[in-house]
Amino acid sequence: MTSTSLDVERIRKDFPVLSRELPGGRPLVYLDSGNSSQKPTAVVETVREHLAMHYSNVGRAMHALGAESTEAYESARDKVAEFIGAPSRDEVIFTKNASEALNLVAYSFGNPGNTDPRFTLGPGDEVVISEMEHHSNIVPWQFLVQRTGATLKWFGVTDDGRLDIADISGLITERTKIVSIAHQSNVLGTINPVADVLRRAREVGALVMLDASQSVPHHAVDMAALGADFVAFTGHKMVGPSGIGVLWGRAELLDAMPPFMGGGEMIEAVWMDHSTYAPVPHKFEAGTPPIVEAIGLGAAVDYLTGVGMEAIEAHERGLTAYALDALREVPTLRLIGPDSLDQRGATLSFTLDGIHPHDVGQLLDDEFGIAVRVGHHCARPLHLRFGIPATTRASFYLYNTTDEIDALVRGLHHVQKVFA
């Protein structure tokens, strides 16, 4: 049993899908929250109620429904800002997902119309990422260096699944304009040494972006304490709706960046041949934003705060300890990532000798209703690094139980029997 101040049975009742029966009478064992989380009734009902009874466009509308929608949308920004300890609410930009947030920042560099030296980029300049990144924190930077002639470099990963910072000074140099790494790996579970990276980046004047898609949902993350320049995360992994993500950035940097997409809402005034832009956050929110989705994310952070991020973290820690022990007993199971609780989250990826993860995942689902993720989890270079095409990944959240981990272990034994 995990020791925690979180009443998991009560919490499970908040998530209607968890009591659902899958076709064929299978119960649902949802161990794929690292991919996307389930939604509590509080979020679903907020979305429903707003869509049905209070909906209108925001900002531009000057009538009762417009005021209700704008108020709800901007309140969601307040809630998110408070949730992540943002120094200012205007630093919270709503995007459609974490990927858009990462692309937005990548597109800010090397724009010929912007002469701010922090955002110029060309041959000789360098961008640093890592080998454990999600594709959404790799490909935007590949695009950037392709457009500008700059160079992409990356941290390696150690055999036990840690960021290899042995040569950090050789990697992050005076030529580095930005370092963008995961706060927590979506495959290894590793929590990266942000302070070390920041220290070196500050020495050479490089900016630091964190892909916090896997940390913000699971830990109390405070922007001021963290000290990075940009942070991206995504609503659907933190019990929020799909279609909504967040970019947090330091106001003075956001002010200095060129806009990304153009359109309604992000302008101050438009003439046919030029335009001036609204202040942040609106400068980066072109067009009608994901209104109801942002409002749903507001309800999600209310829900998480209600449960308590410390309690969630402790609960997940208990589950991780339990799972690390339990998985050790499965023959031939090889964990990819740290095998201790030190600086790691509740994400466990592994292989089984001679059985392809696709078959593992599908059999677990087919026979037991256990949902895990299989494949490279949008982190193909990391899998190449470990010389494997794919892994099976179990990822836990506030609503998971040790019983579900037991079910997983039983399922893995069965899979091994089928393919024996």
Partner 1 sequence: MIGESMYQELILEHYKHPQGRGLRDPYDAEVHHVNPTCGDEITLRVKLGDAGKIEDVSYDGQGCSISQAAASVLHELTTGSTVEETLSVVDEFTRLMQGRGKVEADEDVLGDAVAFAGVAKFPARVKCALLSWMAYKDAVVRSAAR
Report how far apart, in Å, the C-alpha atoms of 402 and of each of 37, 296, 319 are.
18, 29, 6
CB half-sphere exposure, 273, CA atoms < 13 A: 0
As a whole number of angstroms, the distance between CA 280 and CA 291 comes to: 17
Q: How far is the CB of 201 from partner 1 (least distance, A)?
A: 33
The reply to whether omega before 281 is within 30° of 0 (cis) is: yes
Residues 6+ apart with CB under 8 A from 273: none
As a whole number of angstroms, the distance between CA 295 and CA 76 comes to: 5
Q: Does 48 bind a second copy (CB under 8 A)?
A: yes
Cβ(227)–Cβ(202) below 8 Å:
no
Q: With contacts defined by CB under 6 A, name the span among 77-85, 108-116, 134-142, 363-371 that binds ligand PLP.
A: 134-142
Q: Which of 1, 52, 224, 269 binds partner 1 (CB under 8 A)?
A: 269
Q: With contacts defined by CB under 8 A, name the span among 155-163, 316-324, 336-344, 357-365 that binds partner 1.
A: 357-365
Q: Which does 314 bind (CB under 5 to 8 A by kind): partner 1, a second copy, ligand PLP, none?
A: none
Q: Does 152 bind a second copy (CB under 8 A)?
A: yes
**CA torsion sign, 248 to 98 to 375 to 304?**
positive
As a whole number of angstroms, the distance between CA 420 and CA 415 comes to: 8
DSSP summary character for residue 190 = B
Q: Does 67 bind partner 1 (CB under 8 A)?
A: yes
The conformational region for residue 215 under phi > 0 = left, psi -120 to 50 = alpha, else beta, is: alpha
Contact string (CB under 8 A) for partner 1, positions 299-328, x = contact: ------------------------------
Residues 6+ apart with CB under 8 A from 93: 101, 104, 246, 247, 248, 249, 254, 280, 281, 284, 285
Q: Which is nearer to a second copy, 147 or 334 (by Cβ)?
A: 147
Q: How far is the CB of 81 from partner 1 (least distance, A)?
A: 13
Q: Which of 258, 367, 381, 414 binds partner 1 (CB under 8 A)?
A: 367
- The whole-angstrom distance between residue 253's C-alpha and the CA centroid of its chain comes to 22
Q: Does 51 bind a second copy (CB under 8 A)?
A: yes
Site for partner 1 in 270-299 (CB under 8 A): 276
Q: What is the CA radius of gyration of the chain?
A: 22
**Number of CB atoms found within 10 A of residue 258's CB:** 16
Q: Which does 154 bind (CB under 5 to 8 A by kind): a second copy, ligand PLP, partner 1, none?
A: a second copy
Structure tokens at 399: 């609503």
Q: Which of 42, 66, 173, 333 binds a second copy (CB under 8 A)?
A: 66
Contact string (CB under 6 A) for ligand PLP, positions 72-101, x = contact: -------------------------xxx--
Q: Which of 31, 47, 390, 407 binds partner 1 (CB under 8 A)?
A: 390
Catalytic annotation, residues: 378
Q: Which is nearer to partner 1, 26 or 385 (by Cβ)?
A: 26
Task: Give 212-244 as a DSSP string.
Answer: -TTTTTTS---HHHH--SEEEEEGGGTT--SS-
Using CB under 6 A, count the residues that bind ligand PLP. 19
Q: Does 384 bind a second copy (CB under 8 A)?
A: yes
Pairing of β 391-395 and β 373-375: antiparallel
Cβ(137)–Cβ(233) below 8 Å:
no
Q: Which is nearer to ligand PLP, 8 or 301 (by Cβ)?
A: 301
Q: Which is nearer to ligand PLP, 149 or 264 (by Cβ)?
A: 264
Q: Does 126 bind ligand PLP (CB under 6 A)?
A: no
Site for ligand PLP in 199-258 (CB under 6 A): 211, 213-214, 234, 236, 245
Q: Which does 211 bind (CB under 5 to 8 A by kind): ligand PLP, a second copy, partner 1, none?
A: ligand PLP
